[in-house]
């Protein structure tokens, strides 16, 4: 065993000082296990432990390798005993004398569950080939670009015949081409970090620096990201900095005292999710979590992070258990609020083009926008209100939709309050909520017609897009985390046509700047008629930078075909139908598009010109100006 020098190297000393002050954003560079000159140095932060031993395959898991604690509460040992691939843990004699095996919080690889020992795994430095993608991203304003995200649970996208899930080497071969074929711009994974229970979907983590071994090796995920970038697909990852797994041999009360968690038990215990809340005001915890985020961005070249459960981080009363007001008597969790501002500030300073997204369900705190204005500094927020209203509406019998038309249109009132992502996510297709397809009213044919209608509204409503896997072809069964998707559905002509519809709609979205070019401003949309509750038809215009670059969207929410349907148009001229959800190739019955519509001088609301067309039952149309006089007024 190598003796510890009396005088530490200055960089290491500064790293430890910065870790304790909450300013070390690369803590994994000195904490955890590190190989140098055929010896491993192990370091773990456990300031109140009485003693820590390194245990593993290499010493039969006994107490033969004690570690030494420094003035910063960090235990360290250097030894030549371990070998690549060995398992290890830290045996911690906690503050009260209790001894327990604990994981390495900074491990980058673990054994496959149900075990949770860390694996000594050296990842060779990768020679990345995605420079063109990364360089282009630095020059692009993502707010003014299309963003259409395919949300994936990595281990249930596809299974082998023996029931085993695909790993990332196999996903590189099959998922990447599928993303290209389906015309998505991004893929987003539910948490990929190590977690001991599959049914938590990765939202109760133990390894904040480790790709779950259930999904493959770190090298395989690096190669997957590179393949996505070479095919112009961005990669986003869910991340959970609010709470962690309650398992005793992982992070909870690591040294026997509240170390990663709050001192107050009511704040530490997350009753709703059966987990433990991070003390987000603690400097060392801030170093730990921000280092984790930076690690995933830099080591894996990911393009964005979706921060899960932000509401639970910024409100003390979000949980189901007892709560204590803050010093001002309110419910705001100031520690969480300032941590998220710090997180976004650090990441944006180092990587301005990396997307930061929040899954947040309240409207009391500004989530997106400049930190200087009091916002949390995220780029995007999930629009949970839109999602809840829209799904309630589409589940409803059309007889009642006219009286509840505000569910369809209310989002127009607040759509610019934040930079929104419209999420049709995994949360909406589990636990008895039914799949998107199964939510739709009516018989099977009408369900497909409405799903096409819903997706058209989803794609033409301002906001970036996110759709959970399987929804693209109308899978009828709810998502099951431990089974592959129902790919057999695609043998059915209606499912196959639905998949084709989604791929073409995704391409239509990418091809039409009117759907994303001015999305930061109300200039992006003009409502034609949001008051037609008798016929239950919604119409609006999406606009690009140029006068002639606009699309007219008409959505019929009833099973009644609307012949001779009149709407106002911004300019006199002719309008061509470029999208019709009832075309035969999409699973509908129409074999031809509506003819070109010529405007007349029949006034419609504030419009001096209008057109008539036929709107299919439960169908959606999009029209484009063919030849118009932009010098005329509405």
The CA–CA distances, whole Å, from 56 to 42, 65, 163, 473 equal 12, 10, 32, 48
Round to whole Å and give the CA distance between 490 and 51.
59
Please check whether residue 615 is in contact with residue 590, taking contact to mean a CB–CB distance below 8 angstroms.
no
β-bridge partners, 604: 607
Please check whether residue 293 is in contact with residue 286, taking contact to mean a CB–CB distance below 8 angstroms.
no
Please check whether residue 615 is in contact with residue 556, taking contact to mean a CB–CB distance below 8 angstroms.
yes
Which of 104, 284, 319, 359 does the annotation list as catalytic?
A: 359
Round to whole Å and give the CA distance between 118 and 28.
14
- At 411, list the tokens: 């989002």
CB within 8 Å of 318: residues ≥ 6 apart: 311, 312
Round to whole Å and give the CA distance between 224 and 170.
9
The CA–CA distances, whole Å, from 114 to 100, 198, 246, 317, 393 equal 18, 10, 15, 33, 43
3-state SS assignment for residue 8: coil
Please check whether residue 541 is in contact with residue 623, taking contact to mean a CB–CB distance below 8 angstroms.
no
CB within 8 Å of 307: residues ≥ 6 apart: 239, 241, 340, 343, 356, 357, 358, 359, 378
Query: Could you confirm whether 308 is annotated as catalytic?
Result: yes
Round to whole Å and give the CA distance between 29 and 362.
37
HSE-CB of 501 using CA atoms within 13 angstroms: 32
Which of 226, 279, 308, 389 does the annotation list as catalytic?
A: 308
Sequence-ordered strand ranges (E) for 97-249: 99-102, 118-119, 148-152, 186-189, 193-194, 207-211, 234-239, 243-244
Round to whole Å and give the CA distance between 137 and 131.
10
B/e letters for 499-531, b = 16+ CB within 10 Å, e = fewer, are: bbbbbbbbebbbebbbbbbbbeeeebbeebbbe
B/e letters for 353-369, b = 16+ CB within 10 Å, e = fewer, are: bbbbbbbbbeeebbbbb
β-bridge partners, 277: 243
Please check whether residue 513 is in contact with residue 549, taking contact to mean a CB–CB distance below 8 angstroms.
yes
Alpha-helix residue ranges (DSSP H) falling in 440-533: 444-460, 493-511
Round to whole Å and give the CA distance between 376 and 433.
31
Query: Could you confirm whether 284 is annotated as catalytic?
Result: no
Please check whether residue 281 is in contact with residue 335, taking contact to mean a CB–CB distance below 8 angstroms.
yes
Known catalytic residues? 308, 359
């Amino acid at each position: 065993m190598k003796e510890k020098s009396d005088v530490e190297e200055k960089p290491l000393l500064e790293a430890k000082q910065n870790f304790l002050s909450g300013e070390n954003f690369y803590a994994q560079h000195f904490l955890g296990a590190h190989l140098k000159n055929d010896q491993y140095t192990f370091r773990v932060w456990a300031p109140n432990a009485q003693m820590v031993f390194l245990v593993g395959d290499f010493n039969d898991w006994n107490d033969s390798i004690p570690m030494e604690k420094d003035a910063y509460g960090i235990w360290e040992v250097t030894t030549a005993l371990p070998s690549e691939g060995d398992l290890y843990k830290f045996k911690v004699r906690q503050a009260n004398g209790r001894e327990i095996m604990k994981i390495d919080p900074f491990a980058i690889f673990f054994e496959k569950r149900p075990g949770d020992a860390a694996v000594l795994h050296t990842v060779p430095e990768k020679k990345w080939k995605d420079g063109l993608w990364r360089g282009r991203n630095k020059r692009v304003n993502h707010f003014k670009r299309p963003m259409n995200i395919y949300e994936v649970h990595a281990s249930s996208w596809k299974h082998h015949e023996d029931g085993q899930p695909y790993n990332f080497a196999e996903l590189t071969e099959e998922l990447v081409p599928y993303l290209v074929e389906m015309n998505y711009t991004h893929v987003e994974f539910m948490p990929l970090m190590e977690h001991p229970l599959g049914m938590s979907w990765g939202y109760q983590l133990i390894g904040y620096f480790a790709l779950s071994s259930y999904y493959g090796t770190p090298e395989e995920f690096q190669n997957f990201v590179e393949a996505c970038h070479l095919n112009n697909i961005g990669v986003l990852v869910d991340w959970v900095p609010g709470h962690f797994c309650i398992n005793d041999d992982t992070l909870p009360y690591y040294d026997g005292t509240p170390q990663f968690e709050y001192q107050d038990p009511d704040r530490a215990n997350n009753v709703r999710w059966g987990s433990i809340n991070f003390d987000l005001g603690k400097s060392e915890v801030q170093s730990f979590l921000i280092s984790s985020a930076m690690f995933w961005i830099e080591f894996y070249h990911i393009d964005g992070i979706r921060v899960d459960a932000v509401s639970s981080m910024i409100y003390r009363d979000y949980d189901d258990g007892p709560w204590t007001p803050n010093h001002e008597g309110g419910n705001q969790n100031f520690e969480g609020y300032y941590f998220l501002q710090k997180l976004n500030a650090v990441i944006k300073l180092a990587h301005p083009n990396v997307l930061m997204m929040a899954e947040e369900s309240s409207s009391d705190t500004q989530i997106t926008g400049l930190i200087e204005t009091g916002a949390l500094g995220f780029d995007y927020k999930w629009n949970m209100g839109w999602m809840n209203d829209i799904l309630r509406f589409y589940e409803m019998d059309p007889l009642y939709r006219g009286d509840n038309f505000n569910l369809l249109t209310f989002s127009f009132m607040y759509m610019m309050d934040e930079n929104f992502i419209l999420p049709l996510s995994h949360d909406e297709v589990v636990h008895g909520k039914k799949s998107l397809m199964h939510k739709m009213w009516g018989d099977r044919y009408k369900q497909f017609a409405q799903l096409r209608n819903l997706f058209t509204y989803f794609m033409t409503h301002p906001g970036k897009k996110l759709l959970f896997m399987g929804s693209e072809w109308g899978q009828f069964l709810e998502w099951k985390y431990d089974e592959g998707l129902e790919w057999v559905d695609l043998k059915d002509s209606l499912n196959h046509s639905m998949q084709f519809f989604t791929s073409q709609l995704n391409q239509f979205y990418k091809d039409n700047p009117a759907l994303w070019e001015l999305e930061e401003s109300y200039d992006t949309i003009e409502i034609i008629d949001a008051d037609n509750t008798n016929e239950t038809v919604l119409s609006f215009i999406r606009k690009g930078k140029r006068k002639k670059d606009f699309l007219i969207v008409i959505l019929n929410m009833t099973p009644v075909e609307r012949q001779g349907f009149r709407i106002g148009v911004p300019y006199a001229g002719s309008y061509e139908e470029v999208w019709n959800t009832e075309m035969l190739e999409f699973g509908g019955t129409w074999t031809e598009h509506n003819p070109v519509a010529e405007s007349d001088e029949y006034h419609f609301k504030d419009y001096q010109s209008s057109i008539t067309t036929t709107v299919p039952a439960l169908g959606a149309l999009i029209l484009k100006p063919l030849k118009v006089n932009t010098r005329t007024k509405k």
